Amino acid sequence: MNLLLFLSDRCNMACDYCFLDLNGKPGTILSEDSAARALDRHLAAHGTRARVTILGGEPLLHPDLALSVARRARAGGAKVTLVTNATKATPGLAAELTGLGVELSASVDGPSEVHDLHRRMAGGGPSHGAVTAALDRLTPADWRVNLVLSEDTAGKLLSSVEWLRARGFRRLSFHADVRAPWSDAAHAALVAALAGFSRYARALRAASPHALTLWHLDSFRGKSPIAAGDELILGADGRYYASDAYLAKPYGTMLEGEIGDARTGPDMARRTDLLSEAVADVRAALGANDCYTSPVESWLLAKVQGRDPAAAVRAFARADGALGDALSALAREAAVA
């Protein structure tokens, strides 16, 4: 079970594919007491099988809180990941987190002409310079990099991977943009880019087994669009949510059925009913098609934003299916090797 803790709704960047409601007034920051209660409950329920993911907004805008959460979670034996845009990552802070055994994950899409298309600073300016300046002070081996593939960047996947490898990053994770409609032309570009990347990854593996490590290689396409109950979401207001899709709305505006009480823990029955409804509709939208990553979040996000959930599911599943096919094929080959 993975507990996702959102430390605040503050971020120094404004990526256009981020669906969270950020930087409104007044700001909402998770209290240490709320974080401690949620962590203790999570650890008591799941012990060393517990996972914790520290998120924001930008979590390193609150370094003391991030460290406090990481220490408590690691002391209880949980696997901990912190996801950051890297702009506030200093060598000292990174060393302290890795010393605790925290996995560090930076969101970087590649060179400036790719990254700055969608990842801008909160004031609207390019963010690549700030990200690069921080990355150049860090130890690449300590970091995993998340790349988001969008309709207008998918064709540059290989050059983005090469740019990251040239900077010393070897652990990568790919994600399809959940908000994109993925037109026929964009889908074709994605398929072609993944074919080229697959050839590239095979050549690297032949030269050196450790030249590149890809996350999600153990994923597969299957009939079930969700493993029910595999995540808990704690918002910065200290309340539980059935999905992080609900954080697309400002804190304090959620419907009662979408949240649980931090004092007593999440209402799992209510949460299960809500997700079951989403799963049923996702299955209807997919028809006979399998899926790679669960499209439930896309369905819920579309509902929250007033868009057509079935259309959102079909669009995302199309792009994510292409990604899943390519990575799963590489995974099978690696397993045989």
- CA dist list (Å): 278 to 228, 309, 311: 11, 9, 14
Q: Which residues of 3-15 are buried (b: 16+ CB within 10 A; e: fewer)?
A: bbbbbbbbbbbbb
Residue 296 pLDDT greater than 80, yes or no: yes
**pLDDT for 80:** 98
Closest-CA residue to 240 (of 39, 21, 17)? 39
At residue 211 the predicted structure's pLDDT band, cuts being 50, 70 and 90, is: confident
Per-residue pLDDT reduced to its tens digit, 249-291: 999 887 766 777 777 778 777 777 878 888 888 888 888 777 7
User: 234: which 2 tokens?
Assistant: 């704690």
For residues 73-91, give the mean pLDDT: 97
Q: Torsion angle, CA of 259/262/268/271, rounded to 10 degrees? A: 10
Residue 177 pLDDT greater than 80, yes or no: yes
Of the two residues 53 and 265, the one the predictor is more confident about is 53
Confidence (pTM): 0.93
CATH label of the domain that carries residue 295: 3.20.20.70
Rounded percentage of the chain residues whose pLDDT exceeds 70: 95
**pLDDT for 328:** 84
Residue 219 pLDDT greater than 90, yes or no: no
Identity of the amino acid at 280: A
Q: What is the mean pLDDT of the chain?
A: 89
Q: Give me the domain span that covers residue 114.
A: 1-337
Of the two residues 310 and 230, the one the predictor is more confident about is 310
Q: In the Cβ-directed half-sphere of 62, how many Cα atoms lie within 13 Å? A: 27
User: 284: which 2 tokens?
Assistant: 């209807």
**pLDDT for 103:** 97
DSSP 203-239: HHHHH-TTS-EETTTT---BS-S--TT-EEEE-TTS-
- Give, as one character, the DSSP assignment of residue 13: B
Rounded percentage of the chain residues whose pLDDT exceeds 90: 61
Q: How many domains does the chain have?
A: 1
For residues 229-249, give the mean pLDDT: 89
Which pairing describes strands 143-149 and 171-176: parallel, antiparallel, or unpaired? Answer: parallel
